[in-house]
Structure 1
């Protein structure tokens, strides 16, 4: 099993990933029914147009997070391929919004979507191969890294001789993509029944994941519903938008935040099968630079518009990009493409402006709290729960509703091969719960526990059980989350909901406590359990929505 950090830091290379002849294995699992009030508090439905792909792949995946940020990072061959795929046929927000406006929410049938993924992967493979031909013309005796990537794909799909053929890049791309998608997902059975899926190698699953990110956002959402939703599955999802651009050295065109807010609001309004509680992105570096350029700018305008006008439920922050929740005047951000003249103090000014606005307007914050996706040298450590004390101890901010995401890896004192810095962040967070009444945490990307084949599972489950025994209040703050679509890179992701439910059963939770973890705690965190500004706003936005009315207004 490859955990979140190990997948990001080494799982996309050639070491440690075994080949699986025939491209995949059929695996089965039992999909559980969940309470009608279950909530997936942590998900994503953005596509390849919405993130700066080159910067994201180079700076947070390929680069060693403990090394300096180079001025011109070298892109690995596999990541070049992923970029080529992720921008193949990927729709822009304007086109999707136009379709929603004229036709409403219409997602394509699963076979059609997979066929479209296949075409986009084929196009990406062909573009990658054509570029390879231009770079490597002439006589040589060794195969380049790019050629090795294609050789590996051909070997995994059982076509090792294809690479020595005289087929055009287009024909090779179509042949390889057809084999990559030859065995479709066979898990379209009802909840409460046995499901099956194809378990690909992490290498091959990552290629399929790149194909997933070429879809319209509505189809990425529909896949989330197929995997974990339905009438007896989860019917409330909370996707987050992201804003990374200011931290990356690359200059890339991505979907403007205002366009994404408009689009995701329209998706939430029109999706009939589940309630979609979007979270808006906020980047303190981008805000500080904007304030420096225009002192009259309202740097919270996108957040305000999203929450007050467009039905968004909260705000998402990513400290490991390069900032701490407070005290940024002590942080070195000279590696960033542009630093505010006032330094880190300018980031604090923007962050506390956000915190105070959220408290005043009954708005929760969701923050990445795993040592991963570090954009700068060792900035993954900025995601530590301990960093939030400096926020929650401030007058007026103790009641800020805060979700620290990705609990449950116990990586800080894990065995060799993982980070080993001392006290686990899970221990730190548990020790904060008595002091801060509105501090929550989620189990998103909890593959160490959800995958029955994970070599870390016994260790992680034992640590969780011990921590719960010492700090039972954790069960009042723990929330289910999937981290879809990021978890789509993990071969076992179709059984994630079933795996988490099994883990909760093994922790001997009673029915009421399990329902709280699966939804009740999240309803409190979101502010949907009692009258207030948040409940009023969302009730007004979702008025008439069949699922919202059934869950929150049916009495």
Structure 2
């Protein structure tokens, strides 16, 4: 966590590239205002990630962090910086982190148990989040979000990622004949919780009105050691979800959550472990096609054009 970012990128590349991982989509998190203050200005962090992307020849394609409270405190400058990164610095998406204290949408409805102070700004949170998704839609940029139970800023925010906030967002945007472009990180997680998050997310992903919503299997560590016919609990749970919601497998993609995964032994084998466990699925779609579609990197895609504009060429793995 305390390494320079170029060191982490080098470590990741050295560990994964020889195993067929030809690119990494690097997600930032912004903890300003709601959790902690950064030690370097946000705009400088964006410049750094753009520089790392260029120096890696497009091995790293970055996602810009967005924190609605920090945006409020900056008078909208944070969103302006994010949109500039998408338009001019080769960023392919945005990362939000609901555990720090907001829902993707529906803060007025779902935030009633979070105290009077929060409710005084709940409507502003909804307005800023809706603005983010609308602006990202114009640029063809997906928003990646933590979408499983987590250790939130306080206990009240452990469930800030629950499906209801995303369902509310999809309904609100449908009123304007829009659909959010989203990567639901972790797809509710690989552990069995006493909840119905994964089925609700699967239902949302397979709804005809959410064609631009996807999910990843980041840090599904309980799939390691499984094989397609091994009967592991996490794998059986995923198979049951796919059987109940046909088509959801077309919305799933590989993810790592490297900062969490690196604490595990043999982290370099993670992608191969998932490939073995999920060998019954379309691995080309899981490891490439779905991500390229979600992130607008297909020929003619807006993010593909932004990457080529920033680098002056297309990365070899994408060309």
Determine if the TM-score, normalized by the shorter chain, exceeds 0.5: yes
Partner of 2:297: 528
SS at structure 1 position matched to 2:160:
helix
Tell whether 2:251 aligns with 1:485. no
Tell whether 2:20 aligns with 1:246. no
Supply the RMSD in Å over aligned alpha carbons.
Answer: 2.5
Q: Using a 3 Å threshold, how does the CA distance of structure 1 residues 459 and 397 change in structure 2: closer, same or farther?
A: farther
Q: What TM-score comes out, normalization by structure 1 length?
A: 0.53
Q: Which runs of 4+ in 1 moved over 3 A?
A: 332-336, 339-342, 408-411
Deviation of residue 485 (structure 1)? 2.3
Partner of 2:44: 259
Deviation of residue 383 (structure 1)? 0.3
Q: Describe how 1:300-449 pairs up with structure 2 within 5 A.
A: 300-330=79-109, 331-332=111-112, 342-393=120-171, 394=173, 395-396=175-176, 398-407=178-187, 409-411=189-191, 414=192, 419-420=193-194, 422-423=195-196, 425-435=197-207, 436-449=210-223
Partner of 1:217: 5
Q: Describe how 1:194-233 pairs up with structure 2 within 5 A.
A: 213-230=1-18, 233=20
Deviation of residue 324 (structure 1)? 1.1
Please list the CA deviations of residues 237-274 of structure 1 after superposition, one character each: whole Å capped at 9, or x if unmatched. 101111113222x6x552211111001100100114x5
Distance 1:276 1:410 in 2: 26
User: Given that residues 364 and 401 in structure 1 are in contact (C-alpha distance below 8 angstroms), is that contact kept between their aligned partners in structure 2?
Assistant: yes
Q: Describe how 1:71-220 pairs up with structure 2 within 5 A.
A: 213-220=1-8
Question: Which is higher, the Rg of structure 1 or of structure 2?
Answer: 1
Aligned length: 312
Partner of 2:317: 551
Distance 1:257 1:496 in 2: 31
User: Given that residues 386 and 429 in structure 1 are in contact (C-alpha distance below 8 angstroms), is that contact kept between their aligned partners in structure 2?
Assistant: no
Distance 1:360 1:344 in 2: 25
Distance 1:390 1:261 in 2: 30
Deviation of residue 378 (structure 1)? 2.6
Distance 2:258 2:25 in 1: 10
Q: Describe how 1:26-65 pairs up with structure 2 within 5 A.
A: none
Partner of 1:25: none
User: Given that residues 23 and 317 in structure 2 are in contact (C-alpha distance below 8 angstroms), is that contact kept between their aligned partners in structure 1?
Assistant: no
Q: Using a 3 Å threshold, how does the CA distance of structure 1 residues 514 and 334 change in structure 2: closer, same or farther?
A: closer
User: Given that residues 277 and 313 in structure 1 are in contact (C-alpha distance below 8 angstroms), is that contact kept between their aligned partners in structure 2?
Assistant: yes
Unpaired runs of 5+ residues, structure 1, are 1-212, 292-296
Deviation of residue 365 (structure 1)? 0.6
User: Given that residues 88 and 309 in structure 2 are in contact (C-alpha distance below 8 angstroms), is that contact kept between their aligned partners in structure 1?
Assistant: no
Deviation of residue 530 (structure 1)? 3.5
